[in-house]
Amino acid sequence: MAMLQFFIAVDVTVVNVALPSIGSDFDVEGHALTWVVVGYTITGGGLLMLGGRLGDMLGRRRILLLGTALFGGASLLAGLAPSFGLLVAARLLQGAGEAIALPAAMAVIVLMFPEGPRRSRALSVWAAVASCGLVLGFVVSGVITQLFGWRWIFLVSVPFILVVLVAVIFLVPGERPAGRGPLDLPGALLLTAAPLLLTLGVVEAGEGSGALPWLPPVAMAGAVAAGVLFVRVERRSPDPLVPLRFFRNRPRVLANLATALLSAALSTSFLLFTYYLQDRLSVGPLQAGLTMLPLAVSLIVVSVLVPRLLERWGAQVCVLTGIGFTVLAMAAIALVSHLGAPAPAMVPAMMLIAAGMGFGIVGLQYVAVTGVTEDDAGIASGVQRAADQLGGSTGITLYVGIGFAPALGGVEPFLASSLLAVAGLVAAGFVARRISVPAG
């Protein structure tokens, strides 16, 4: 399960450093390349709850095999894609494979370990692997792109995904499905369409292109309409993506809201690191990737400490600590960019981001799956992952999209993006303060 989580997490960030090479090969401009990044995360996040529902209904082992096979096949297609359009399509399929596989994988882990120290340790390993995958994606992207070419950033995962498929067959026990029923496909499509339309509107508005001046407002209006329709569909659906009883568990709802707000800032920091190193300092792919190593090392250290502290302090204190570290990291990013300091000056910010991710996300994951049963483990896992990914994608769209928009004139873009992220983190802190869950 951790191996699958690692390579799925890697694919969230592995394209960032490789984007210039992809654009050069396909002769594609910068704003279009955005879809290679957010197409994967938004599609995955939007369909995650459907994936969780499928796992609960049809059996987690069966759905885990299906999603893993789809992810592996899409990775192969992305690596061999002869055109940019097919590459984007492969990324969308990768997101769909992730959405099907990950809720089932996380549900398997949650049901294997009872609540308490064992589950907190298991989820800490799970979160640490995901975090390291996200960060190592930058390193892997830089090294592989410079030495072997960008196509191998996708192809390298294929043999490992085959190992996961074989392991699931032999190691994950089967279970009796809960039963077949109607699937809320309209809800899943609307949940995916809303952030995609929002991204389209913000990206096109930021580009300031006069060719289609109507596109940004129409796309943003469509995003709002899709969100409103999603709520209406969920209220009327006989079998909604998120059953109404889910919202009766106040700690889970607050944990998922805080997850989205924290992930928005964390994902924004990754992109700001890349922009600063490659665009502001003109650092090459290999050096840019290697500069991110302190972040990965810090995450490994934090992953060893967090399980013990989660048991001692409780989830709420860990979450608030993580949010505080992330606020300090965003301030450090703004200061370094203002001073135009060399690449090593970003290392303290990277270490603070690692601490913020390690403390915050692990604590929120623990709260989000507290009290789950066989019947709702998949949907609880799917909602938590969706909050994480859609929060991160929306954060990049809003914080970076607005911060770097030409309309802001002379405002320093790194400062603007960081301030927006801090505002979201303050909101996350208020939400986390209202979470009440007993210590592990």
Tokens of 438: 């007993």
- pLDDT of 337: 92
Q: Residue 257's pLDDT is what?
A: 92
Q: The pTM is what?
A: 0.79
* CA–CA distance, 301 with 252 (Å, rounded to integer): 27
At 15 the three-state DSSP class reads: coil
Structure tokens at 387: 């909050």
> What is residue 343's DSSP assignment?
G
What is the domain partition of the chain in residue ranges?
2-206+235-433
Which pLDDT score, from 0 to 100, does residue 385 have? Answer: 77
Measured CA to CA in angstroms, residue 248 lies from 244, 292, 384 at distances of 7, 41, 16
Backbone φ, ψ for residue 14 (5° rounding)? -65, -20
Closest CA to 136 of 284, 266, 11: 11
Length of the chain: 440
Residues of the chain falling short of pLDDT 70: 29-32, 34, 176-182, 203, 206-212, 372-378, 406-410, 437-440
* C-alpha atoms less than 13 angstroms from C-alpha of 77 in its C-beta half-sphere: 18
Give a three-class secondary structure readout of the chain.
CHHHHHHHHHHHHCCCCCHHHHHHHHCCCHHHHHHHHHHHHHHHHHHHHHHHHHHHHHCHHHHHHHHHHHHHHHHHHHHHCCCHHHHHHHHHHHHHHHHHHHHHHHHHHHHHCCCCHHHHHHHHHHHHHHHHHHHHHHHHHHHHHHHCCCCHHHHCCHHHHHHHHHHHHHHCCCCCCCCCCCCCHHHHHHHHHHHHHHHHHHHHHHHCCCCCCCHHHHHHHHHHHHHHHHHHHHHHCCCCCCCHHHHHCHHHHHHHHHHHHHHHHHHHHHHHHHHHHHHHCCCCHHHHHHHCHHHHHHHHHHHHHHHHHHHHHCHHHHHHHHHHHHHHHHHHHHHHHHHCCCHHHHHHHHHHHHHHHHHHHHHHHHHHCCCCCCCCHHHHHHHHHHHHHHHHHHHHHHHHHHHCCHHHCCCCHHHHHHHHHHHHHHHHHHHHHCCCCCCC
For 2-206+235-433, which CATH class? mainly alpha
Instruction: Write b or e for each residue in 280-313: b if 16 or more Cβ atoms lie within 10 A of its Cβ, otherwise e.
Output: ebebebbebbbbbebbbebbeebbeebbebbeeb
> Is residue 20 classed exposed, middle or buried when 0-12, 13-18 and 19+ CB atoms within 10 A define those classes?
middle
